[in-house]
Amino acid sequence: MSIKVMVNGLPGRMASKVAEHVLKHSDMELLPYSLTGPESESSDYSIANHKMELILPNNREKMLHEVLSYNPFIAVDFTLPSAVNENAEFYCKNKIPFVMGTTGGNRESLEETVKNSEICAVIAPNMAKQIVAFQAMMKYAAENFPGVFSEYNVEIIESHQKGKADTSGTAKSMIEYFNKLGVSVTKEDIVKIRDPEKQKEIGVPEEYLSGHGWHTYTLTSKDNTVLFRFTHNVNGREIYAAGTIDAIRYLHKRMLEGEKGRVYSMIDVLKS
C-alpha cells in the first residue's frame, strides 16, 4: 500500500521540489491538495502535470472533510516561519502525522504540541542527511571534549536565497555545540547574507542565487596563530528533498507501529 503524502507550501520552491520527488517514487501517492498562504493568487496549480488545489487559510476548515477523506496520510510542511505553530496545531488537532521542514516559529511550543497529541512527527531544521551527520559529529565533540576551544573565537556566516526570511535553523542549531566546546556565541552573532550581489562575491554560482544554503564556521585562536574552518555549501534543493523522502518513510513506519506523542529528528531517520 502506497504512502499518501500531502505537501504543504505550494507553490513554494522547496515544497514543489518535494512534491516532484514524491511523484517519482512508486511507494508514494501525492494528494491533490496543499495548504498555502494568503498571498497565493489562485487555488489551481499543477506540478509535473499533476493537478493540485491550493487551500487558502480562510478555506481550510471548509476543505477539511475532503482532505481527511484520504486518511491516513502524512503532511509535509515547507510553508513559512509565521505558520509553523498554527499548522502544527492543525495537524495535531486533526490527527495528521507530519514532517516539519519549515524553520522558525516557537520550536519548544512546536514539540510540546506534538507530545500532547495523538500523532508523531519528524521535526528538523535541516533535511539534508549529510549535513545532519556533520551536526551529529559536532554534537559528539561537544559532549566528549567540552571546552576544547575555550581560547578561540568563532564566526558563523550563512547565505541563503533572498526569499528566506529567517536565520538558518542549521546555523542556529550549531550554537549549542560551540558553547559546549568553550566558545561564547549567540544566535544574534550569526552573519546572515541575503543580498545576491554579496552572495556572488563569496562565490555562490549565479544560477543558484535563488536556491542555495552556504554555511561557514571559522574558529580562530585569540592570538590569531591557529584557524579551523568547517564549510558545507549546498546549491539547489535536491539534497533536502531526498532527505525529506527518507523522513516520510521513517515516519510511516512509526505510524504503523502505533507511535503517538513522539517527536523524531533527522538523527533518528539516519539511525534507522
Active site residues: 160, 164
- The sign one gets for the Cα dihedral 40, 84, 267, 169 is positive
Please give the radius of gyration of the chain, using alpha carbons only, rounded to the nearest integer.
19
Distance, in Å, from the CA atom of 38 to the CA atom of 57, rounded to the nearest integer, reads 6
Torsion angle of C-alpha atoms 162, 163, 169, 171, degrees rounded to 10: 0
H-helix segments, 145-180? 169-180
Residue 115: its H or E element: helix 107-115
Cβ atoms of 101 and 14 closer than 8 Å:
yes
Which residue is listed with cell 559532549?
Answer: 143
- In 3D space, the residue among 154, 152, 155 whose CA is nearest the CA of residue 223 turns out to be 152
> Which residues pair with residue 221 across a beta bridge?
152
Task: Yes or no: say if 28 and 5 are a contact pair by the CB < 8 Å rule.
Answer: yes
